[in-house]
Amino acid sequence: MDENAIGDIVVVGGGAAGWMAAAALARHLGKNRKIRVVESDEIGIVGVGEATVPHIRTFNAQVLGLDEADFVKATQGTFKLGIQFRDWARIGDTYYHGFGSVGQDLGPVPFHHYWLRARGAGRAQDYCHYGLQSEAAEQGRFMPPASDVPATSPLANIAYAYHFDAASYAKYLRGYAEKLGVVRHEGKIVQVSQRPDDGFIDAVVLESGERIAGDLFIDCSGFRGLLIEQTLKAGYEDWSHWLPCDRALAVPCATTEAPTPYTRCTARPAGWQWRIPLQHRVGNGYVYSSRFVSDDEAAAALLANLDGEALAEPRPLRFITGKRRKFWDKNVVAVGLASGFMEPLESTSIHLIQMSIVRLIDMFPDVGFDPGLVERYNRAVDFDYDRIRDFIVLHYKATERDDTPFWNHCRTMSVPDSLQENIDLFRRSGRFYRDGEEFFAMQSWVQVLLGQRIVPEVCHPIVDQMPEEEVFKFVEHVGKVISACAQAMPPHQAFIDRLCKAP
C-alpha cells in the first residue's frame, strides 16, 4: 500500500448514518482495510427517520445487495408511493407529491401544459389523478413495477420508497456490517486527538481510556458534529430565516387501520405534523417553530391529532436547519445529521446520507487527501443541500394562509433568489427547468407548485395551438389509463402480507 493509503477508517456514531456508511464502505472498500464504528449507548441515536425517497432502493439493493423482503420484515417496513399534503395552501386543501412521472409525454412539452389547457376549460381533474403513484396512494394500493406488461405501461414504471423503523434499520445494518468484519466499539468519546503539524485527527479516546486511531474519520455523531464542528470548527450556515421550524415532538401511536402507502404531512398552526405508517404502529410528529408556539401547546396539538392511543410520551428534539460550511475537512467527512439538517418534510435526510456515502466511495482518497478532490466533494454536497432546501422552502412560501402568525411569516418571508426565480417563471409561463443534476425532478416541483395553488393561466404555445378537443381527449385518455392501472394494483396491506409471509 502507498504510504498515504487509508488503512484504518473510523466511523464515529452508530445511528442510521454511521451504520449505512460502515456497511457500504465494508462491502466496497473493506478488503485490506480496518473499519471500526464507535457509538455510545448512553448518548443513543435520533432514530426517528422513518420515511424515505425511492433512491433508498438503489442503496439497499445495489450498493448493499440487501433482499427486499428480508429488509421489510426486519424494519417493520411499509411501502411509500409519495406524500399527501393537507391544509398547506389553504385549510381544506389536499394534494399529493407522488413519486415518478405524472401523465404521459407527447412530444417535447411536459404533460402539465396539456393539463393546464384542459383545466382552463374545466375539462381536467386534480393533477394528482394523472400520476399512477398518487392515484394508487389515494386508493390505498401498492405493488412494485410489473414485468409482464409493456415497458411503456405506467405499471412497469412504478416508483416507490419505504417507511421503516430507523432504529431497526441501524441494527439490521450493524449485523450486515459486522458480518463483513466491521468492529463496533461501545463507549463515549471524551477526547479527540489531532496531529500537531496539520490538525488532522489521528485518534479518538473513549471514557474507558481506549484510544482508537485512524487515517480517515467519518463523523456520524449527529447534531453535535463531534469531529467536524466541535473539533475542526468547519462552521454552520443557519437557514432558520427560510426554514423557521426548530423543534419537533415525536410519538408513536397504535393503529388498527391498514397502513397507507404514503406519508401524510398536515399543516398545523405553527408548523406541520407527520404521519408515517409502519406495520406495527404509526409514527407521528409535530415539527414546529418555538417562536410561534410553546412546547406544551405543541404537545397538546400533537396528542389531539393521533389516529390511536399514544404508545409513549412525546419525545422532544431540537435542531437548527442548515448545513456545514465544509462537509469534508482535513481527514474528516461528515455524514448524516453531523453534516446538516433540513426538516423531514420531503424525507430527504436518509437520502442525503446515501448520496454522501456513494460520493465518498467514488471519491475515496486512497492516494492521500488531494485538496482538489476534497473541494469537488464539498461543492457537490453543497449543491445537493441548496437545491433540496429550495424545494422544501417552496412548501412554506407558496401558501395563501394568513390564519396564524406562523403562516403569515412564511407567506411574506423572502426566499432564496434561486427559488423566487423558479416560482415567478412557473407562475408566468408554466415552465420549470431543473438545475443540472439536482435531486428533485421537474415532476416533483410541478406537483408541489400546483398543489400549493401556483397555477399558471397559460400553457406552452405548442399545446395552445393544438385543436382543443385533441388536448381534452388526450388528457381524458391519460386519466382513464392511470385510473385503470391503479385499479389493477392490490391493496397495500395485501401486498405486505404476501411479501412478509413468503418463506
Is there binding between residue 354 and ligand FAD (CB under 6 A)?
no
Is there binding between residue 344 and ligand FAD (CB under 6 A)?
yes
Is there binding between residue 188 and ligand FAD (CB under 6 A)?
yes
Amino acid occupying residue 445: W
Contacts of 244 (CB under 8 A, 6+ apart): 289, 291, 292, 396, 406, 409, 410, 413
Is there binding between residue 224 and ligand FAD (CB under 6 A)?
yes
| Beta carbon of residue 433, minimum distance to ligand FAD (angstroms, whole number) | 27
Sites for ligand FAD among residues 52-71 (CB under 6 A): 52
Which is nearer to ligand FAD, 156 or 213 (by Cβ)?
A: 213
Q: Are 76 and 278 in contact (CB under 8 A)?
A: yes
Cell numbers placing 443: 415532476
Contact pick of 60, 78, 347, 378 for ligand FAD (by CB under 6 A) = 347
Sites for ligand FAD among residues 118-157 (CB under 6 A): none
| Beta carbon of residue 385, minimum distance to ligand FAD (angstroms, whole number) | 13
Sites for ligand FAD among residues 156-185 (CB under 6 A): 166
Contact pick of 9, 36, 39, 115 for ligand FAD (by CB under 6 A) = 39
Is there binding between residue 222 and ligand FAD (CB under 6 A)?
yes
Q: Are 182 and 26 in contact (CB under 8 A)?
A: yes
| Beta carbon of residue 468, minimum distance to ligand FAD (angstroms, whole number) | 43
CA distances (Å), origin 155, targets 34, 105, 148: 44, 16, 9
Contact pick of 102, 189, 357, 475 for ligand FAD (by CB under 6 A) = 189
The rounded distance, in Å, linking the Cα atoms of 255 and 84 is 19
Contacts 24+ apart (CB under 8 A), 226-230: 226/12, 226/13, 226/189, 226/192, 226/338, 227/12, 227/192, 227/201, 227/332, 227/334, 227/338, 228/324, 228/326, 228/327, 228/329, 228/332, 228/334, 228/338, 228/339, 229/324, 229/338, 230/192
Amino acid occupying residue 202: D
Contact pick of 78, 349, 443, 493 for ligand FAD (by CB under 6 A) = 349
Q: Give the three-class secondary structure for 266.
A: strand
Which is nearer to ligand FAD, 35 or 166 (by Cβ)?
A: 166
CA distances (Å), origin 334, targets 48, 224, 231, 308, 451: 19, 11, 12, 38, 35
Is there binding between residue 51 and ligand FAD (CB under 6 A)?
yes
Is there binding between residue 271 and ligand FAD (CB under 6 A)?
no
Is there binding between residue 16 and ligand FAD (CB under 6 A)?
yes
Total number of residues that touch ligand FAD (CB under 6 A): 40
CA distances (Å), origin 269, targets 250, 437, 441: 17, 35, 29
Catalytic residue among 73, 80, 323, 326: 80
The rounded distance, in Å, linking the Cα atoms of 155 and 485 is 6
**Site pattern 323..342 for ligand FAD (x: CB under 6 A):** -------------xxx----
Q: Give the three-class secondary structure for 140.
A: coil
Contact pick of 28, 34, 43, 205 for ligand FAD (by CB under 6 A) = 43
Q: Give the three-class secondary structure for 36.
A: strand
480 given a catalytic annotation? no
Strands 315-318 and 282-288: unpaired
Is there binding between residue 18 and ligand FAD (CB under 6 A)?
yes
Number of Cβ atoms within 10 Å of the Cβ of 337: 25
Grid coordinates 407558496 are at which residue? 398
Which is nearer to ligand FAD, 14 or 100 (by Cβ)?
A: 14
Is there binding between residue 10 and ligand FAD (CB under 6 A)?
no
Which is nearer to ligand FAD, 50 or 87 (by Cβ)?
A: 50
Contact pick of 221, 279, 331, 356 for ligand FAD (by CB under 6 A) = 221
Contact pick of 40, 101, 443, 493 for ligand FAD (by CB under 6 A) = 40
Active site residues: 80
By CB under 6 A, name the binding residues for ligand FAD: 13-18, 38-40, 43-52, 166, 188-189, 220-222, 224, 226, 248, 250, 285, 317, 319, 336-338, 344, 347, 349-350, 353
